[in-house]
């Protein structure tokens, strides 16, 4: 696993690109405006990173991160990620994304919505419940007492292993919460949303949560919240 494709170069995409490069991965990153607009970012990231179109980032990545506004996911060609392991970081903000009926009715979780669009990919939910700034500051070497733990969800064990290896390599432990259908438990505004990875959510006070604490937060989730 050496090339990470990143679709979306905003708050989360740019931080993940930095963490991936620092961990020794090659990065191919794309946004909606085209590779020229990413010249400054890839220069900062150094020789392991290059800018590309979304199609190129999708094709190049052994692992592909989709980190764009959820409402814009359907703009990406559905078959462009066939056969890929895909990390979905997206959250649902109707005021930004527009109303999405299958989410409002709870027919699908947000990651099932992404999985349904990319039917030929294997989607793993990750990074949706950590602030971008925290993501770029709380990474720690394996075994550090204050290394934070991030939640994932997925329906394909092999894909989850690939994603776990990546997350561990960039500086975090991983807690597997179960299938995508249950991943509403750490969607927006649930107890296991922002702040779950540290005691207070304050990057000045990082503290690794135990699996029991994470489980308790997931168990407190209330489907009616969103």
Output 9 or 164, the one with its CB closest to ligand NAP: 9
Please tell me whether residue 115 binds ligand NAP under the rule CB under 6 A: no
Minimal CB distance to ligand NAP: which residue? 10
Nearest Cα residue to 110 out of 81, 89, 95: 89
Q: Which of 132, 161, 178, 207 binds ligand NAP (CB under 6 A)?
A: 132
For helices 157-170 and 11-22, give the axis angle rounded to 10 degrees. Answer: 80
- For residue 162, the Cα-to-chain-centroid distance in whole angstroms is 13
DSSP 39-95: HHHHHHH-TTEEE--HHHHHHH-SEEEE-S-GGGGGGS-GGGGTT-EEEE-----HH
Output 57 or 162, the one with its CB closest to ligand NAP: 57
The DSSP output letter for 96 is H
Please tell me whether residue 139 binds ligand NAP under the rule CB under 6 A: no
Instruction: Compute the C-alpha angle 135/182/166, nearest 5°.
Output: 35
Q: Is the separation of the CB atoms in 26 and 143 below 8 Å?
A: no
Output 158 or 183, the one with its CB closest to ligand NAP: 183
Output 10 or 143, the one with its CB closest to ligand NAP: 10
Please tell me whether residue 180 binds ligand NAP under the rule CB under 6 A: no
Please tell me whether residue 12 binds ligand NAP under the rule CB under 6 A: yes
Please tell me whether residue 10 binds ligand NAP under the rule CB under 6 A: yes
Q: Which of 5, 8, 136, 206 binds ligand NAP (CB under 6 A)?
A: 8
Site size for ligand NAP (CB under 6 A): 26
Please tell me whether residue 11 binds ligand NAP under the rule CB under 6 A: yes
Q: Look up tokens 């971008």; give the residue.
A: 132
Handedness of CA 115, 120, 125, 126 (dihedral sign): negative
User: Which residues between 32 and 91 bind ligand NAP (CB under 6 A)?
Assistant: 32-33, 54, 67-70, 72, 75-76, 89-91
What is the contact surface with ligand NAP in residues (CB under 6 A)?
7-13, 30-33, 54, 67-70, 72, 75-76, 89-91, 127-128, 131-132
């Amino acid at each position: 696993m050496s090339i990470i494709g990143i679709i979306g170069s905003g708050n989360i995409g740019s931080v993940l690109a930095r963490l991936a490069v620092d961990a020794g991965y090659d990065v191919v990153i794309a946004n909606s405006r085209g590779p020229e607009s990413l010249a400054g970012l890839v220069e900062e990231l150094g020789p392991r990173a290059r800018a590309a179109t979304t199609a190129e980032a999708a094709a190049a990545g052994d692992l592909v991160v989709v980190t764009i506004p959820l409402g814009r996911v359907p703009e990406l060609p559905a078959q462009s990620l066939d056969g890929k392991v895909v990390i979905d970081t997206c959250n649902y903000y109707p005021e930004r994304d527009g109303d999405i009926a299958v989410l409002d009715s709870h027919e699908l979780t947000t990651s099932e919505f992404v999985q349904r669009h990319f039917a030929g990919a294997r989607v793993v939910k990750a990074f949706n419940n950590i602030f971008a700034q925290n993501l770029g500051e709380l990474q720690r070497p394996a075994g550090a007492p204050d290394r934070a733990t991030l939640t994932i969800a997925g329906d394909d064990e092999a894909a989850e292993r690939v994603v776990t290896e990546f997350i561990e390599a960039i500086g975090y432990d991983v807690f597997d919460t179960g299938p995508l259908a249950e991943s509403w438990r750490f969607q927006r505004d649930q107890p296991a949303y922002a702040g779950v990875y540290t005691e207070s959510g304050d990057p000045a006070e990082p503290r690794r949560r135990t699996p029991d604490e994470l489980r308790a937060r997931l168990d407190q989730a209330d489907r009616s919240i969103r």
